Amino acid sequence: MSGESRHASAETTVRPTPARVWIDLVSPSHPFLFDGLVGGLENVSVTTTVREKTETVSLAREVGFEHRVVGRDFDNAFVRKFGIPLRTMQLAVSAPECDVSLSARNAMCVLASRARGTPSIHFTDNDITAHVDGLWIEELYNRFEAAATHNVVPRAFAAEELTRWGADPDSIHTYDGYKEDVYVAGFDPDPTFLDGLPFSSGEYIVVRPEALTAAYVDADSIVPDLLAEASERDIGVVYLPRGRGDESYAREYADDAVYVPDGAVNGLQLAWHARCVLTGSGTMSREAACMEKPAVSFFPNTLLSVDQELVADGRIFHSRDAETIIEHIAGLDPSDVEPDRERARTVRDEVVELTNELIRSVRQ
């Protein structure tokens, strides 16, 4: 063979076929998480399904995922228990042909993948049953998540929440950070965002109520007290009800005191421009903390391990007393409110590299 022929052969080396990746989005934070992840994945083609739950579908559309809607969430807690197995069966029948599935806190995708013989990479940071006894629904969900081919978790996560339900320790992969870092890292702030809010001062806090219908929550909401305390101090509030009765908490206030957006709103933009983010769950406080913004959790039970670590590091303030929370916010200095994403970018790069390695491993 001549040197020219050898050169031509090298030039026409065939690139490996792209890995077919199926992503299933089931909660409002998932479009952002997987949008932040997909941009760094190597040689993949992506197909996406979405569950109809609060803003999940509209946010998937907003970040640019072409998707098909499969199944829905239900407001009624009893009916919701049946919605999960129903959607799992729908996915098992109609999920796209793929080499691997990616999902987060999503036993439905894990089980459907297993039924189809498809390897699964599952992201979770929820170890609630490590701290609350008797939650058989959550225990069952964790057992199903443990069936994933690979589970990717923060280093702070209590890994026994997977191994106790049958996960192989070698299938659990950790990273030094939080899942919210993955999408905070590439977030693009909009300098005109404040123009759409009714606060003349440009300052506001964000309040997201507790998930009172969740099996692991047994408490009354402190949101009415928070709104009252904020109003007394003339602190503007962007209030994000969950739509299960908690929208009524804002009805007595004018929009320039407590503003409830009409439709979905980008939570990252809200956090970036806010003085502080307050939530009765976990995701929004972690998003703010990963931006180095002030964050408050008023979660009513023992915190997840990831949140406990953030509280211990001083990156989240936790309290169930409305007056104490508002006093904390009033005492913040301008330097406390200045955001930064350098740490988040380091975490994202670690998670992207790990995910690429796992995708390559399941194709071998």
SS (H, E, C) 92-152: HHHCCCCCEEEEECCHHHHHHHHHHCCCEEEECCCCHHHCCCCCHHHHHHHHHHCCCCEEE
Do the Cβ atoms of 154 and 282 come closer than 8 Å? no
pLDDT tens for the chain, 364 residues long, are 444 444 444 455 667 899 999 999 999 889 999 999 999 999 999 999 999 988 899 989 989 999 999 999 887 667 777 888 999 999 999 999 999 999 999 999 999 999 999 999 999 998 876 555 556 667 777 788 999 999 999 999 999 989 988 999 999 999 999 999 999 999 999 999 999 999 988 899 999 999 866 655 566 899 999 999 999 999 999 999 987 788 999 999 999 999 999 877 888 999 999 999 999 988 999 999 999 999 999 999 889 999 999 999 999 999 999 999 999 999 999 999 999 999 999 999 999 999 999 999 998 8
Helices (H), 123-273: 136-145, 160-163, 179-184, 223-232, 267-273
Tell me if residue 285 falls in helix, strand or coil. Answer: helix
The residues with which 206 forms a beta bridge, in sequence order, are: 238, 277
Do the Cβ atoms of 116 and 94 come closer than 8 Å? no
DSSP 8-state secondary structure symbol assigned to residue 316 = S
One-letter amino acid at 134 equals: G
What is the rounded distance in angstroms from the CA atom of residue 299 to the CA atom of residue 243?
Answer: 18
What is the rounded distance in angstroms from the CA atom of residue 124 to the CA atom of residue 156?
Answer: 11
One-letter amino acid at 207 equals: V
Q: Which domains does the chain have, with CATH numbers?
A: 19-186+344-362 (3.40.50.2000), 193-338 (3.40.50.2000)
Question: What DSSP string runs through 28-83?
Answer: TTHHHHHHHHHTT-SSEEEEEEEEE-TTHHHHHHHHT--EEEEEE--SSHHHHHHH
Tell me if residue 174 falls in helix, strand or coil. Answer: strand
pLDDT value, residue 212: 67
Backbone angles phi, psi at 277, to 5 degrees: -115, 125
Rounded to two decimals, what is the model's pTM? Answer: 0.88
